Amino acid sequence: MKSIDQKQFAEELNNGANILDVRESDEFESGHVPGATFFPLSSIQKNIKQLDKDTKYYVICRSGARSQQTSAYLEQNGYDVVNVIGGTISWQGDLEYGL
């Protein structure tokens, strides 16, 4: 599984990265990386077909554990994913709020 550190992730955001935030709704609403899509781990099996296998996704959670689990699952199902190490708590930039 591919992973990326926070510095590299910040650079990818400037290139229009597709971000999947896999936390639950209350966590996402309380602050997420700008441009992130709410895609909770708890409903990933139900919603996986919403994703495009030709798109690279950067997967983030709070600290990195759920994003690693999600990245492994998506990769096993043929998706191009990159796990964001350190999660949202390590993010140095501004956050967006709400769903």
Residue positions annotated with a catalytic role: 61
Contact (CB, 8 A) for 91 and 21: no
| C-alpha distances in Å from residue 55, one per residue of 11, 40, 42, 58, 80 | 18, 18, 22, 10, 7
Contacts of 9 (CB under 8 A, 6+ apart): 17, 58, 60, 84
